[in-house]
C-alpha cells in the first residue's frame, strides 16, 4: 500500500467517524451505548499499550535512559540434608 493510499484510507475513516459523531445526538439509545462501548474499548487498549511500553522501557533502560547491566543468574541447588 502506497503512502497516498494509506492517507486516503485514514481520511475516509476520519470522515466516517465525524459523520457518526454528527448523527449521534439523534441516534437510538442502543446505538449511543454501543458507540460508547467501542470508544471505551479503543481507549482502554491504547492506555494499556502505553502502560506496557513505558514499563518495558523503564525496566530495560532505567530512569536515565541508559541500559542497565544484566545481572548474573545464580543457579539454585537443592538443600543438603
Q: Would you kindly state where each structural domain of the chain is located, as residue ranges? A: 3-58
76 vs 7 pLDDT, higher one: 7
In the prediction, which pLDDT does 59 show? 63
Is residue 67's pLDDT more than 60? no
Ramachandran region, residue 62 (left: φ > 0; alpha: ψ -120 to 50; beta: rest):
left
Q: Which residues contact 20 (CB under 8 A, 6 or more apart)?
A: 35
Q: How far apart are CA 13 and CA 25, in angstroms?
A: 20
Q: How far apart are CA 30 and CA 17, in angstroms?
A: 18
Taking residues 51-78, report their average pLDDT. Answer: 67
Quick one: which of 69, 50, 73, 52 has its CA closest to 61? 69
Which pTM was predicted?
0.53
Amino acid at each position: 500500500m502506497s503512502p497516498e493510499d494509506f492517507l486516503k484510507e485514514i481520511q475516509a475513516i476520519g470522515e466516517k467517524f465525524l459523520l457518526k459523531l454528527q448523527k449521534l445526538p439523534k441516534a437510538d439509545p442502543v446505538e449511543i451505548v454501543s458507540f460508547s462501548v467501542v470508544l471505551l474499548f479503543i481507549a482502554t487498549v491504547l492506555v494499556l499499550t502505553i502502560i506496557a511500553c513505558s514499563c518495558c522501557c523503564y525496566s530495560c533502560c532505567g530512569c536515565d535512559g541508559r541500559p542497565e547491566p544484566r545481572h548474573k543468574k545464580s543457579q539454585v541447588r537443592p538443600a543438603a540434608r
